Amino acid sequence: MKLAKVKIEYSSGTTIVDRVGLDPLTGRVYLAPRVLGLMKTMEQAECSPSFSLQYKGYVLPVAAASGEYSVSMPVEHGTGFGKILHSIAVPSKEQREQNGRYLHTLSAASIGGAAASWHAALGQGWDAFVLPGFLAVAGVLLWYAGIWSMEGE
Amino acid sequence: MSTGIFVLAMSIVISAFFIWTSNNGRKADRERDWGK
């Protein structure tokens, strides 16, 4: 049995935050009689609430069926190498922001390189301007990818 | 010429990879938040 935080939000703005017992194997949620009483009282004057449970960083919707409450437990992404790969392939908001900054650093380096190679190419024929051109395009592309990664809400 | 093509190809690969990962992250966030 684990302890988890639940949040019951009503459309009027009333929010109940409490701790409950959670069976991680079955997903069964055990509410204290005090919370059940509050919910019963609120039912008389409110629409059905948004009922969520926080567990290991996940926000899980709580389903009610015949007086019992339960959540579907999130799928764990293994341990060790698999977990590292998952954190790279599915980054959090903060990691996406860092990725965006990294891309903008690469973009700045490309633009700087384009400017330097442009000056080096002067007086050496048109072929010498291919590299600064490609570097400039790479800079714009990386800048756009950075913006995409950092996109706000 | 080949250096320029290599630089451009690498930037396309890096951009595509990070756009793909950020899309995955956003999708995971949406799925995680829908109970809120």
What is the pLDDT of chain A when averaged over all its residues? 88
Provide the ipTM: 0.88
Q: Do B18 and A149 touch (CB under 8 A)?
A: yes
Query: Structural domain boundaries of chain A?
Result: 2-70, 91-149
Across the A:B interface, residue pairs with CB atoms under 8 Å apart total: 87
Q: Average pLDDT, stretch B4-21?
A: 94
How close, in Å, is residue B16 to chain A by CA atoms?
8
SS3 A4: strand
Count the helices and strands in chain A (H runs, E runs).
4, 7
Using alpha carbons, list the distances in angstroms from residue A135 to A98, A103, A145, B17, B19.
Answer: 23, 14, 15, 19, 20
Bridge pairing between strands A28-30 and A68-70 = antiparallel
Interface test with B, best of A73, A117, A130 (most B CBs within 10 A): A130
Pairing type for strands A2-9 and A50-55 reads: antiparallel
The alpha-carbon gap from B3 to the nearest alpha carbon of chain A, in Å, equals 7
Task: Provide the chain A residues 37-96 that lie in CB contact (below 8 A) with chain B.
Answer: 50, 52-53, 58-62, 88-93, 95-96
CB atoms B32 and A141 under 8 Å = no
pLDDT tens column, A40-98:
888 888 888 888 888 877 778 888 888 889 888 877 666 777 778 888 898 888 899 99
Which pLDDT score is estimated for A98? 94
Q: State mean pLDDT over B2-15.
A: 93
Quote the pLDDT of residue B32: 66
Most confident of A29-38, A72-81, A133-142, B22-31: A133-142
* pLDDT for residue A123 is more than 90: no
Nearest CA-CA distance, residue B1 and chain A, Å: 6
